[in-house]
């Protein structure tokens, strides 16, 4: 009898211990661990969403700006593109992709590229394949060409052949 009673008490005590421990753990989790973690995760998700929206808004604003000014960004073809012959390019044989700025432009078929000579020296805009040739462009001079045929046009300045640029009409 005694043994059975002792065993029952022991089992009861064990069960009570297990139950109370698990109840305390879940209460603790609800009060501290889990709820805080959930709040943090939500905060983080909200912040990520806000950041993503900010980035998307900025990109949209930038795209609007670019199309508004008609300036070539090298990203998308436009109807009107302006390229400048940079200062000092007559003597700076190392001007590389900064001779014609921007060096590579995209224009829509039927669109126009305008070159502006902002240098003090005279330059040309010449397609060696003959699609266009500005002739000598004095300081502050400009030259326009309408691109009616799709293609990639590599051009140069015949006075300073290190000055090279590319127009892609598409
Ligand atoms: Cu030149």
Segment 79-113, tens digit of pLDDT: 999 999 999 999 999 999 999 999 999 999 999 99
Cα(2) to ligand 1 centroid in Å equals 112
Residue 60's pLDDT band (cuts 50, 70, 90): low
pLDDT at 77: 83
Mean predicted lDDT score pLDDT of the chain? 78
Cα(143) to ligand 1 centroid in Å equals 13
pLDDT at 68: 40
- In the chain, domain spans: 1-69, 78-169
Cα(104) to ligand 1 centroid in Å equals 17
pLDDT at 139: 97
The CB density around residue 150, as the number of other CB atoms within 10 Å, is 12
Cα(36) to ligand 1 centroid in Å equals 67
The CB density around residue 129, as the number of other CB atoms within 10 Å, is 10
For range 153-170, the mean pLDDT: 98
Distance CA 92, CA 71 (A): 25
Cα(68) to ligand 1 centroid in Å equals 30
Phi, psi of 34, deg, nearest 5: -60, -50
Cα(120) to ligand 1 centroid in Å equals 10
Cα(110) to ligand 1 centroid in Å equals 26
Distance CA 66, CA 75 (A): 10
Locate the DSSP E strands across the chain: 78-85, 100-101, 104-117, 142-147, 151-156, 164-169
Side-chain-facing half-sphere of 165: CA atoms under 13 Å? 28
Residue 134's pLDDT band (cuts 50, 70, 90): very high
Segment 19-53, tens digit of pLDDT: 454 444 444 444 444 456 666 766 777 777 777 77
Distance CA 135, CA 143 (A): 9
Cα(10) to ligand 1 centroid in Å equals 100
Instruction: List all residues 6 or more positions away from 159 whose beta carbon is below 8 Å from its beta carbon.
Output: 90, 121, 122, 123, 124, 136
Cα(74) to ligand 1 centroid in Å equals 22
Assigned architecture for domain 78-169: Sandwich (2.60)
**Residues 149, 151, 152, 158, CA torsion sign:** negative
């Amino acid at each position: 009898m005694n043994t059975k009673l002792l065993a029952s008490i022991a089992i009861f005590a064990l069960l009570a211990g297990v139950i109370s421990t698990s109840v305390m753990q879940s209460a603790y989790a609800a009060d501290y661990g889990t709820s805080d973690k959930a709040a943090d995760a939500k905060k983080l998700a909200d912040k990520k969403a806000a950041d993503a929206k900010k980035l998307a808004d900025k990109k949209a604003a930038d795209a609007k700006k670019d199309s508004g000014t008609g300036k070539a960004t090298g990203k998308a073809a436009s109807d009107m593109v302006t390229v400048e012959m940079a200062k000092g390019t007559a003597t700076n044989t190392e001007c590389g992709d900064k001779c014609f700025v921007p060096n590579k432009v995209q224009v829509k078929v039927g669109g126009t590229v305008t070159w502006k000579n902002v240098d003090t020296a005279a330059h040309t805009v010449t397609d060696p394949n003959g699609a266009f040739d500005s002739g000598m462009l004095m300081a502050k001079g400009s030259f326009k060409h309408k691109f009616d045929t799709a293609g990639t046009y590599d051009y140069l300045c015949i006075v300073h052949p290190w000055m090279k640029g590319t127009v892609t009409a598409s």
